[in-house]
Structures are given as C-alpha cells and as structure tokens.
Amino acid sequence: MAPAYARFDLGDHLMQTDRSAFLALGYTGAFRTEDYPDWHRGRRTYAVWVLELVEPDILAYMQRIQSYFDDLCVHPYRRQPHVTVFVSGFVAACRQWEDDYTPAQYEAQCQRLRQLALPTFAMTLGAINSFAHALYLEVHDQQGGIAAVRQTLQEVMPELRWGPYVPHVTLGMYREASATDDVVQRIERCPLTRAIHTQVTQVTLATYTAQEHLGPLHTRYTHALRVRQEGAEA
C-alpha cells in the first residue's frame, strides 16, 4: 500500500506562529492517568477520523523533535503520528448516549465522503507550539482539504468538540507542570524545526481503547482520495 503522504519539499521557512495564549497560562498542565468512568461509562472503543503520517522521513523528523523534548513528556506515548480531522465518539450498536457513534452514522459518513470525491490535497507541518497539556506541530491546510472533509462529516452528525478546532500533530503530553515561558524558550531554541509539505491521499477512521492512556490507534476504514489530474486546480 502506498504511504498516506508523499514528501515533496523539506526546506521552506516556517510560517510565523503565535504562542501568546499558551504563555498566558503561566504553567502547563500535567497529564493524569485517571480512568474517567464518567466519560467512558464502561464503553471501550473510541472513533476518530484522522490523516495518518506514515512517510519515513516525516516519522524520523518527528522522532528527533520528540527526543529534544524527551524530559518534558510522558512515556510511553504509543499513539501513531496523525492529524485528527473529526471526533466521532464511542462505537455503539445503537445510540444511548450523545457521544455514541452508530453503524448508521458511520455508513452515512462514508457515503458522504464518496459523494464528495475530494482530490488529493497539500498540507504543511509547521512550527512547534503548545496546548496546556500537549506539545504539537502546527498544521496548515493551504488547499482547504481538511476543512472540506470536516464539513462533509459534520453533515451527518455534530462533532464532539469542546473548543475551537486546531489542526495539529501531537508530539507528547506534559508529564508535570512547567512554566510556560520556560517551555517557549525551549521551543524557540530547538534547531530542528522546518516546514514539511505533504500530499494527503487518504482519510482514515481509526479507533483507540478509552481505558488505555495514550495507546495506539487501530485502522478501521480507509477512504482513498481522488487522484488529482496534473495541472488541475484545488
């Protein structure tokens, strides 16, 4: 099977990033390994639509950055590199809770993606930034492909999201509280970052076990994007 992404450049200047919101927090949050029974209610399988990152050069690049920040992050972090596109919820035979994800919803989303017939699109991995609890790479959706997939999936059901959508690739979760200005200084001193342009060729429905903290993703369905004709516009 061909990789989900094909690297075509590794040398562009990074787009300027804004870390003011993160700095304003004062301290990072520490990752907590609690069970959160009020969230999962005994359900085990959680579904998300993602863009998988499998190209070897990109994985090696991410590993170098993760090693640079190794002392700040929780180990092990076994979730494969990816961009979350849409959060669907807990896989369930029928809808009992508002965050259940049923076979009918899954089939309808797959059907909408087929009808969309979206061509392959470009995406750029950019600067290092941070949420309160996680270090991440910014993602730039310059051709609007991510936005188109999100809009299509939301035609079937509302997304389970508690804040604005920020496309990103998680590098790690903070193991303890650290001063945000110290973290930003580390980020700005990192000599490894550069813009990486990739071509997205598929969208994947993946699941993970809710009770397994930072555990791996499991591929359930892969939707191949339409091959873009040479010279075609987005």
CA atoms within 13 A on the CB side of 146: 22
pLDDT for 188 equals 93
pLDDT for 16 equals 55
Question: How does pLDDT run across 181-205, given as a tens digit for each residue?
Answer: 999 999 999 999 899 999 999 999 9
Query: Could you tell me the domains of the chain?
Result: 9-13+21-32+42-224 (3.90.1140.10)
pTM: 0.89
Distance of CA 2 to the CA centre of its chain: 20
Distance CA 201, CA 88 (A): 21
Question: How does pLDDT run across 19-77, given as a tens digit for each residue?
Answer: 888 999 999 999 887 778 888 999 999 999 999 999 999 999 999 999 999 999 998 88
Q: How confident is the model at residue 12 (pLDDT cuts 50, 70, 90)?
A: very low
Structure tokens that stand for 22 in this block: 């993160």
State the Cα angle at 145 between 143 and 150, rounded to 5°. 140
Distance CA 74, CA 218 (A): 21
Is 55 within 8 Å of 4 (Cβ atoms)? Answer: yes
Question: How does pLDDT run across 196-233, given as a tens digit for each residue?
Answer: 999 999 999 999 999 888 899 999 999 999 987 765 55
Q: How confident is the model at residue 14 (pLDDT cuts 50, 70, 90)?
A: low
Question: How does pLDDT run across 112-139, given as a tens digit for each residue?
Answer: 999 999 999 999 999 999 999 999 999 9
- For CA atoms 30, 31, 34, 36, give the dihedral sign: positive
pLDDT for 2 equals 30
